[in-house]
Amino acid sequence: MALHCGVFSFRSVASHPLCSVKFSQPTVQASTFASPLTPPTAKLNVRGKAVPGDGTPETKESPLVVCFGEMLIDFVPTVSGLSLAEAPAFKKAPGGAPANVAVGISRLGGSSAFIGKVGEDEFGYMLADILKENNVNHEGMRFDPGARTALAFVTLRSDGEREFMFYRNPSADMLLQEDELDLDLIRKAKIFHYGSISLITEPCKSAHIAAAKAAKDAGVVLSYDPNLRLPLWPSEDSAREGILSIWETADIIKVSEEEISFLTKGEDPYDDAVVRKLFHENLKLLLVTEGAEGCRYYTKEFSGRVKGLKVDAVDTTGAGDAFVAGMLSQLSVNLSLIQKEEELRDSLKFANVCGALTVTERGAIPALPTKEAVLDAMLKPVS
C-alpha cells in the first residue's frame, strides 16, 4: 500500500470480520508455485541478467533496484468524499508500496525487480502480468496456493487523503518463507528497498531479515521506507518496536512527518533536533517528506529543504512511493549524490515532481509518471 508524503489517517482494522468470509481461504502450508504466465516478451533491463524478448544478451546494463515486500489490489472509490459504504463503485488498481516503487523506477527508465508473494489466484496473476508489462523483473515473485492476494479498500476524502480497510487473514504476502528467496537476484542489486509491513508476522518477518542480511553482506545499499500502517500491527508499541528494530541497518531512510511524530512519541517533526535523533551512525541519507510542501534532507555533512510542486490532488495513493522511486532511480546511477548537496537537491526536485504528478490520477501504479512527464513538468513555469 502506498504512503503519501503528507497527512494521512487510519480508519478500519486488519481484523475486520469480513476478512475471514469471502476474501481468504483456510491457511495451508505456503509453497513456491511456478506461475503459469508465459515468459515476458518485453525487455527486462536487469543488471547482470537482462535479456530482451528474443533471448539475445542485453548490451547496456542499468544498476538494479530490488524491492521487497507486499503487492496487492487497491480498490479506490470512483467518487471522493464518501465513506466505503456510501461509495457507488470502486476502481481496481494494483498497489503495495514496494511494488509501486519497483514499477515507478522502471517507468522512469531505470532497472528494477520485485520480490514478494501473492495468491495463486486471478488477482495474483494479474499483478504478475502488471509487473511484466512494466518491465519489472519478477523472477523473485512467488504464488501461494492456500492464501489469497491481499486487498485494500481505500476511502478518498474530499482533499484526496486516504483511509484504509485491509483484507489479510492471512494474505499471501504474509507467508513468504526464507527458503523461497531469490538470493542471487538480491545480491545483484545496487539498492535493496523495503518497508516495515513485511516485519509484522512470520514467516515473512524472517524472510525479510534474511533478505536484508544477504543484501548487506553483498555490499548492496539498503533503502527503508517504514510505510506505517497502524491497523495492521497488534499495537502502537509493537509497531514502533518493529519499525525501529531494523532502523540502524539502513543506509537510506525515507519517513513522513507523521511517522517522525509516531516514532518519537509525539515530538515535533519540524524540529531538526528531533529529526536528528533518528539519524543513526551508519545512515547516509534521511529524507522527510511533507506532501505538497516538498521534503527535507539530512546527511552527516548538511541538511535542507526542497520545495514541492503544487497540483490539484485527486488521490494521494502512491505519492510517497513515486517520490522514493524518483530518488532511488537517481541514486542507483550515482550514489555520490549523497555527498554533493546541489546535485542531491536537483534529484530531490525530480523526486518531488514524481510524487506530485502521481496524486493527479486515481490509483498508485496507474498514476506513476514517466521520466518524460516529470522532466516536462519541471520545465513548466510555476504559477
pLDDT at 8 over 90: no
CATH number for position 129? 3.40.1190.20
In a domain, 303, yes or no: yes
Tens of pLDDT, residue by residue over 216-269, are 999 999 999 999 999 899 999 999 999 999 999 999 999 999 999 999 999 999
Q: Which residues contact 288 (CB under 8 A, 6 or more apart)?
A: 254, 255, 256, 257, 260, 269, 275, 295, 296, 297, 298
In a domain, 328, yes or no: yes
In a domain, 318, yes or no: yes
In a domain, 346, yes or no: yes
Per-residue confidence (pLDDT) for residue 364, from 0 to 100: 85
- pTM beyond cutoff 0.85: no
> Residue 203: is the preceding peptide bond cis (ω within 30°)?
yes
Residues in the chain: 383
- Check residue 20 and report its DSSP letter: G
Total domains in the fold of the chain: 1
What is the C-alpha to C-alpha distance for residues 320 and 354, in angstroms, rounded to an integer? Answer: 9
pLDDT at 136 over 70: yes
Confidence grade of residue 78 (pLDDT, cut at 50, 70, 90):
confident
In a domain, 21, yes or no: no
In a domain, 118, yes or no: yes
pLDDT at 5 over 50: no
In a domain, 373, yes or no: yes
User: What is the domain range of residue 317?
Assistant: 62-69+95-148+169-377
Tens of pLDDT, residue by residue over 137-186, are 999 999 999 999 999 998 876 665 667 889 998 999 999 999 999 999 99
CA dihedral 230, 1, 328, 219 (to 10 degrees): 70
In a domain, 286, yes or no: yes
